[in-house]
Amino acid sequence: MPQRERYLFVCTNRRSDDDPRGSCAARGSEEIVKKLKAKLAELGAAKDVARVCSTSCLDLCDIGVAIAHEPNHVSYGGVTLADVPDIAKAVAEGGIVARLVKYPAASGAEPVQKSP
């Protein structure tokens, strides 16, 4: 399997229902992973361009469902199933979805729109 150009690490951590921080899994992240994989495959980007990976906690519980987008070094937050088409299209084209960026690459930095 070749190294991909871009990776999406989707938090699928699940905490107990009484944890005040909640969890990405309880907010629907497991379904987001499935839909992102399917959409990237549909766009022809799943084999060599981009990979969606489930991961444990990204320590971004305060921003809702969190996705770390590499190599852009940005974190998306508050992601829903409705955002999947935009994320998949952006990653397939080497860009980001600026409206979802909660933490840019560097403090105060503007989000990068295209990967190098």
Element (H, E) at 88: helix 84-93
Whether 24 is covered by a domain: the verdict is: yes
Tokens 């899994």 belong to: 25
pLDDT mean by block of 10 residues, the chain; 116 residues: 87 89 90 97 93 93 90 93 96 93 64 40
How many domains is the chain built from? Answer: 1
* End-to-end Cα, the chain, rounded Å: 22
Task: Look up the CATH number of the domain holding residue 99.
Answer: 3.40.30.10
Whether 109 is covered by a domain: the verdict is: no
| pLDDT confidence of residue 21 | 85
Could you tell me how many helices (H) and strands (E) the chain has, helices first? 2, 5
Whether 85 is covered by a domain: the verdict is: yes
Tokens 């084999």 belong to: 47
Whether 108 is covered by a domain: the verdict is: no
| pLDDT confidence of residue 84 | 97
Residue 85: Cβ-neighbour burial (10 angstroms; 0-12, 13-18, 19+): middle
Element (H, E) at 50: strand 50-55
Whether 110 is covered by a domain: the verdict is: no
| pLDDT confidence of residue 115 | 35
Q: Which domain holds residue 28?
A: 6-103
Backbone angles phi and psi of 78, in degrees to 5: 70, 25
